[in-house]
Structure formats: C-alpha cells, structure tokens
Structure 1
C-alpha cells in the first residue's frame, strides 16, 4: 500500500514542469514533458506486447483486470489524496475523489465480467454465419482534467479486456493523477500493455496521427474533438469521441420542488459543475418555478466549498484559471442580460485558489450566453416556461446532445418528453447517473460511439463474420 507521497516519488520528475494545487497554488509535484520520440517508444512497446496479451483470451485478461482493481482498492487513499490535490475535488464528501477512485475499480471489474459470445446471425437450411469480436491492436486514450482517473479507466478497461494494448495521454492539467493511477495498475498488469505519455498538445496530436495506433478514444471539448477527428483521418484510425455537452433539464408542473431539489443540485453541481454530462440549463414550468428556485437555494446554501483536503467541504475549486474565467465571464453576461442572481455570483478575489461560489441565476432568456454556452462550472441558469412544447424546443435548440433529464411525478408524461429530447441519454428524476452496465455516448456535436456495457466492448474491437 502506497501513500500519496510514495506515488509522487515514483512518478515525478525533479526537472519537470510544476503542477499546482488549484485550491492553494502550492506545488503538488513535477511532471516529465514527453516528446514525440517518447510517444514513438511507447507505441512500439505497446504494439510489441499486444499479440501475447490478445493471445491470453478473455478469461485470463479478465483475471488481470480484477487484479488491477485489487491494486486500485489497495491504494485508494493515496490515489484519492493525489487526485484531490491536483484536480481539486474533495477527498471524502459528496461525489468526491474517493468516489472517483471507487469508480475506477468498479469499471475494471464490470468490464472484466461482461459476457461477449459470438453472435449467431444465420442458422438454418441455407447455412450458418456468426459474428465475433477481435482486438484492434493499439488504442490511444486521450483523457480530460475533470475526472482524470475514472475516464482513463473507462477508456482503458474495455480496451484491455478486448485484447488491445493502450497508450494513455493525460490532460496537461492533471497528469499526476493519471500517472499515479497507471503506476498502480501496472503493478498488476503485464509489462507494456498499458503505457502513459504525459505531454502537451503536440503529443496529443502525434498520438492521434500515429501509424501504430488503431483506435483513438477522446474525451474533452467539441473543438478539440474535431481536431482529433481531422488528425485521425489520414490513418483511418477508428474513433470514439465523448465531447462537450450543455445538458438540459425539463421540470414538469406536477413535481414536488422540495423532493427533487437535492437531486437537481447534484445533477448540476457534481464536481463543482465540471462534468460533461452535468445539468447545465434548467427549464422549469411557471406553476412551480418560484418554489423550485427557493428549494434549490435552500439546498445550495448548505453545501460548503473549500480545500478538498478539509473534510467539511463538499465542493472544491475550479481546476484551472482558464475555466474560472469562463464561468466568471458568463455569470457577468447573465447579470447584464437581466438575470436575477438567487445565490452566489460574487467571488472573493483575495483568497488563493480558483474558487467560484455556487451560483443560481433565474429569469434568463434562452439565448443568454450562460444558457446557450457550456459553462462547465458552478453556475446554473434557470429558465421559466409555460408550455412544454416550448421547453422541448429550447432543450433541443443547441447543436450538442450528450445528456438531458425530465423531472415529473407522472411516469408516462416524463417518458413522453424524454423520447422527444435529442440526447444520447435522458434521465428521469435524476441527472448524470452513469452505470458501467449501461451504454453511454452523445449525439450531434457531443460526439459518437458508445462506452460501457457490452456495446462499449464492441466499440474497441473489430467485428469478424464467419460464414459457412
């Protein structure tokens, strides 16, 4: 069992780039900045290891994934502390760093255990045909800074289970978390089946264009995803892109505002709002509008924000200054546009760290930038509607569609609205709840391809039909 300092000692480069704690500005550790030559070496090693890894078969590879999950659980406290110090999320309270580390082991075990048998397509007097799924080769995994450990595992676990080897390129904002995680995973995995190459945009572009990479999995912004897609075109690498979202929630007039307020809050403010599938714009029927606003304020006022290493806090800072500025500017535009600030909106500028207060803004028009643009932070716009047709139209108006939610005490009414929302996942009376058994992916400019479940395994494999 490692301590956080043990992990840092194993993964930091004394001459590397400093990584700062977003809550305090203190140095967490230093990271080696890889070159494209380092990437070439990692891809070559992963490619050399892939045939033997594929040859082990599903059962043996699944055993390794369970051993990797054991290693994560044995180092959970150290990983959670490292994650909190680098990313900012609280260690223990709320959907937190410990929650994220627990998600890593859960996804490893689930990916290990999904059955995937050949699919019989035809079996009659005309003949027989079946389809099976075989490894692609080397998967390049490019991850984000908001859930750096768990999303890396989402990419890695299914890829390894299907017999691929993986080269990970973490976000330059949170490389230590991913380096620490990979260090722990590699205590259980065979050599070179999982490699990590920290670095900036040059390394990410080189990975997405590399001739030795057969598939790219990318989670991040739509703009960067478009660049990855262009880069991968020449080599025809397969893609799974999980990109930006601006998820809508539609509250129907039959709800009990106090009953749903807590789930609405966490749907929007999980990870201080820094979640692709968080609730980012809320449409509330006029009959319950004031009551929902009041109930949300009551919940939000009880949620302390601060340094993630302090046990009382359930919300942490924004991870970086760039994101802080985006949130702050959008809230100011909401104010100028006539928005009524119910809570927050006035950050303290004399404290260390990128803390933006929990903010609720009501009475906004649907075209206000805080509604129309993804804020990716702790500021929720609330829009009043009178006709559900208008709410559906506004929810579908944007060019993204990762998730959405409907809130109602009438199941049939909720299902009717849910089926008309343009999103990869629509939740009812919850938002952003992911499950390793349930496929997840976006539509429109929120990307394409599925992760999780058996469909997620298929997405990191090549199909082969055998007919006789």
Structure 2
C-alpha cells in the first residue's frame, strides 16, 4: 500500500539512475542529436528465467485480491505515474525522439495514466447464458497466469500500458520485453508503477532477441501480447505453437483514408494531417495512403500542404516543435528509399522529399507525394514515417477496391460531409476499425484489433479484458 509521500515526483536524473545498471550496459543514443541518453541493462536468459519464476509465484496472491482491490492498486499506480509525468516525458522524448509538445511525449505519458484509470474502472460480471427449467449456465473469466508483453519503439510507454493494464486488471502478472531501441522508457514505466503495485506482479526484462524468443516459448508464460511488424508477429506465432499460448497480435498496418467528393478540404486538412503524421508518422494505425476524389483532389493537396508547412520539426526538448526524427537509422532508410522510389517513378513531390545530409539525427522532412500510382512502393508498402502518398480516384468503387487491395487491415477512414454516406462506404472496407472524419482516434472503452495480416485478438474495453482471461462455463 502506498502513501501520499510515495507519489512525490523524482527528478529526471533520479529516474534515469533508477533504470540503468550500476556498471556496463548498452549505450542508448538520442535519435535527434546522437548524444548519449543512458545505458540499458543487458539481461540474459538466466535473468528471464528468474523473472518468470517470480511473476508466477506472485500471481496467485494477486489474483486472490479480486477485481476491486486490483483496481485500487492500479489507480494508485496512475497517481504515481502522474506525479512523475515530466521526468518520464523528458526521458521518452530523449530516447524515442518525439517532441514534448503536440500529440507526443507529454501526451503519451498522460494517456498512460488515463488508460490505467479507465481499465481499472471496467466491470466484467459473469454472463448468464441459460436460466430456465433445464438449468443455469454462467460464463466467467479467470486469470491466465503470467502474461508476456512485447512492445514496440514508437509508443513504448503507452502501448506498454495497453498491454499491462488489462493483464493486471484480470489478475495476471506481467513480464515486459521492451524494444531494444527504447528500453529505458519501458524500464522507467515499470519502475514508477512498481512504487504503487505489490512486489512481483510487474516486471521488465531488457534483452536481445534470444531473451524475447525464450519469453515467447516459455512453458510458464500463458499468453503473449505483441505489437510490431507482421513478419515479427508470424515468428512469434510459430515460436509459441508448442505451448499453445494465447496470443493478442497487433501487427503492421498500411491504413487507407478515402476522401469523398462532398468533403470540405479546408475543414478536414488539420485532422488529415494528424491522422497521418502523429508521432512523425511512426504509428501503426496512422493514415498511410490517402485516396482523394478527382473533383477535389487539388484542393485537398493544397489544404494539406498549407497545414503541413506550419508544423515545426526538430529536437524534442525544444518546446516549439511538434514533429521529431525517425527513431532509428533503419526506419529512416525505409522512408528515404520509398520516397526515392516515388521520385524515380515520376510522382509529384509537393512538399519535402529533400533531407539535409549534414545535420545530426534521423530527421526526414514532412513529405507529401501527389500524382502517384497505387502500385508504387510508397503506397503499397508501410512507410512508417513522415511521407504521405495521395492517390487520385474517379469512383467510390475504385477507391474501395484500392483500399482493400492489400493484405493488411488495421484501420481506415472515410472523410465526408454526409455521415450516412460515409458509414455506407466504411461498411465495405476490410479493417478492424474504420473512423469517419478522423483517423487513429483510439479510446480505452472501444475495442481495437486488426483484420487480415494486421493481427488478431482485441484490446481495450471490456472485450479487451476478456482476451486476458480464460473463459470458464459453470453449469448447474
């Protein structure tokens, strides 16, 4: 049990010291400047084994507390997170690269606390399936045991909370494996939450792929939650097969947006921009290919260009910036190569596409590409960065066919002044979520999951809780 004094803020330096090893470790560099942020521990297989054992030992006691007491602990953990919000945001900005302001580092930290509170408040009561003269049947959800959570580098804290919050709420214990690109953020997340949680229920192991593979195949881990690429997800599915693990897989997306001819270009430009460029485009459910009707094509391109020009990009700790660098060199190269392929094809570079070669950091300028073929690699492959292709279409059927033409279906959006017409189009798109006049607006109360090769399983809301429990029918 924590007291009010337990939630007093610590400094950034104290937070960083708490998650670094006393000696050694792997250097973590700021993607905006190349400067040293800190050193991450290099846990090995023996560390993972002892961590899983500790999580397994703590799980029965945590489950026995019941939903009400577990929710109370989660709310206190949210208090601790809010008390340390600024130090957490600075670390996140330096390690991941995202600016403090805009829908970025401070936004992410705030969302973590909000998500913890929302998840703590969900009620999951037994469902009465049958109740008649023949008997009664009830559906209950029991804890699974130990949950392994493997997170990405783009939203390391927030997606970490998306994984750990419902797992803890349902009475499971959690072992987190952060991305090797952003381990300090997740270690800090766990450190702060553990000032309010009982010992042993939440752990983090920062290791290489060998550690991750062992977590996936470990016989004492009941479920894996994974957010990342489709290729990595397929490997996890294969490696988990021998233990028949439960899986929630939130995999790659290449989200389409369809702008209908009745849309108002000026009215939607700001929301289109942030739908595509939130976190500098490094978001699974960001708008990554935009289909615009020929009647308003140039007006949309112009309005979006004007909006994009007003969004400053630079070092995250500069309070003026709202766009940052790519988090790592590999992702920078992906974006640069795809934009170059668009240039080589003769597509029109409306904005950006001309990175400075002599500046530090992995900055790629905000880039809009018009008059591009739907089969161009910038459209057909997930760029995961600040480059948006804008494709012209003539008929709604053509736009829907192009939107559904890939083997991914995480999210999509329809933009129109007529919501009834937009809903008709949305119903024909194969995606886990289709937004109308917005994109990527997730809500802790609303289930979220992918279609096709964007994964399976649901997160968020009461339905998300169910995916962290073992269904059990009791009939009498």
Q: Report TM bin, short chain.
A: over 0.9
Give the one of 242, 248, 272 matched to 1:264: 272
Partner of 1:86: 95
Q: Does 1:142 align with 2:159?
A: no
SS in 2 for 1:188: coil
State whether structure 2 residue 30 is matched by structure 1 residue 16.
no
Q: Secondary structure at the match of 1:335?
A: helix
Tell me if 1:382 matches 2:390: yes
What displacement does 1:337 show?
Answer: 1.0
Find the counterpart in structure 2 of residue 355 from structure 1: 363
SS at match of 2:68: helix
Distance 1:458 1:172 in 2: 30
2:76 is the counterpart of 1:67: yes
Residue 151 of structure 1 is matched in structure 2 by 159
CA distance in 1, matches of 2:208, 2:283: 22
* Alpha-carbon offset, residue 3 of structure 1: 1.4
Give the distance between the partners of 1:6 and 1:271, measured in 2 at CA: 27
Shift in Å, 1:345: 0.1
Q: 1:255 aligns with which of 246, 263, 286?
A: 263
SS at match of 1:281: strand
User: What is the DSSP-based 3-state SS (H/G/I as helix, E as strand, rest coil) of the residue aligned with 1:103?
Assistant: helix
State the alpha-carbon separation in 2 of the partners of residues 178 and 404 from structure 1.
29
After TM superposition, the structure 1 = structure 2 runs for residues 268-417 of structure 1, keeping only pairs within 5 Å, are 268-417=276-425
Find the residue that maps to 1:123 and give its secondary structure: strand
The residue matched to 1:280 in structure 2 has which SS?
strand
Matched, 1:428 2:436: yes
Alignment partners' CA distance in 1, 2:344 and 2:377: 11
Is 1:57 equivalent to 2:66 in the alignment? yes
Residues 152-301 of structure 1: pairs in structure 2 closer than 5 A: 152-301=160-309
**TM-score w.r.t. structure 1 length?**
0.99
Q: Equivalent residue of 1:107, what SS?
A: helix
Between the aligned partners of 1:185 and 1:111, the Cα distance in structure 2 is 15
Alignment partner of 1:31 out of 40, 55, 62? 40
Q: Give the CA deviation at 1:458.
A: 0.3
Taking the aligned partners of 1:311 and 1:200, their CA distance within structure 2 comes to 34
Deviation at 1:412, TM superposition (A): 1.2
Matched residue count: 467
Structure 1, residues 412-462: CA drift from partner, whole Å, max 9, x if none?
110010000000000000000000000000010000000000000000000
- Residues 362-406 of structure 1: CA distance to partner in whole angstroms, max 9, x if unpaired? 000100000000000000000000011000000000000000000
Q: Which residue of 1 aligns with 2:122?
A: 114
Is the aligned partner of 1:439 residue 2:422? no
Runs of at least 5 residues in structure 1 that lack an aligned partner in the other structure: none
* Cα distance between partner residues in 2 of 1:455 and 1:181: 25
CA root-mean-square deviation: 0.5
2:6 corresponds in structure 1 to none
Aligned equivalents of 2:465, 2:338: Cα separation in 1:
39
